[in-house]
Amino acid sequence: MSRYLLGVVTQSLQGESPAQCTRFNCAIECTRAFLEFNMYVRYKSHDNATVSYMEEALRHFHTFQDVFLLERAGKKAKAKPNALRTELMKKRKVDEETNDKTWTVPKNRREMNSWRDYISHEIDVSKELDAELNIPKIHLMSHLVNQIR
């Protein structure tokens, strides 16, 4: 199961932008650490070495878990970015109308792409600030190591 999951996640991003690749690599590391922790938990018996491996995998998982915050944004966390998107789209429209006659077609295309990237970045930042990764099963993982000891 874990090899299949990691294979699917790895193959899902091919030929994307460097910014997406960085985010994707963090997701791969987080998934890898999560699967590694689960594999160690399934051992029938544990010693100090396997418990320390579990703790290290858990630490590694918590280092990269924030990459999933955008996907866990709830209704309250999404309301603020949606209002921000509307505001930024209005500013973009004003900018477009102001410079419509002075810009050439390539310049217009570049400006619209830069606006799109800027709006996307601002929305992501806003979601990350308000989102929480509050999943009870993930919290229980931290107690599992002490229970095994």
64 and 4 inside one domain: yes
> Cβ contacts of residue 81 below 8 Å, gap of 6+?
73, 123, 126, 127, 130
122 and 144 inside one domain: no
Confidence at residue 22, expressed as pLDDT on a 0 to 100 scale = 76
Confidence at residue 77, expressed as pLDDT on a 0 to 100 scale = 61
Confidence at residue 71, expressed as pLDDT on a 0 to 100 scale = 60
> Cβ contacts of residue 134 below 8 Å, gap of 6+?
72
Q: Maximum CA pair distance of the chain?
A: 73
Residue that the structure tokens 């990691």 belong to:
6
> Cβ contacts of residue 141 below 8 Å, gap of 6+?
37, 58, 61
Confidence at residue 1, expressed as pLDDT on a 0 to 100 scale = 47
28 and 65 inside one domain: yes
45 and 96 inside one domain: no
56 and 119 inside one domain: no
pLDDT tens readout for residues 87-126: 877 877 777 777 777 777 787 778 778 877 877 777 777 6
Q: Domain span at residue 85?
A: 73-132
51 and 4 inside one domain: yes
5 and 54 inside one domain: yes
22 and 80 inside one domain: no
> How many domains is the chain built from?
2
128 and 147 inside one domain: no
Confidence at residue 54, expressed as pLDDT on a 0 to 100 scale = 92
112 and 145 inside one domain: no
How many angstroms separate the CA atoms of 93 and 103, rounded? 14
- Mark the ranges of the chain whose per-residue pLDDT is less than 70: 1-20, 69-79, 126-136
Residue 133: how many other CB atoms lie within 10 Å: 14
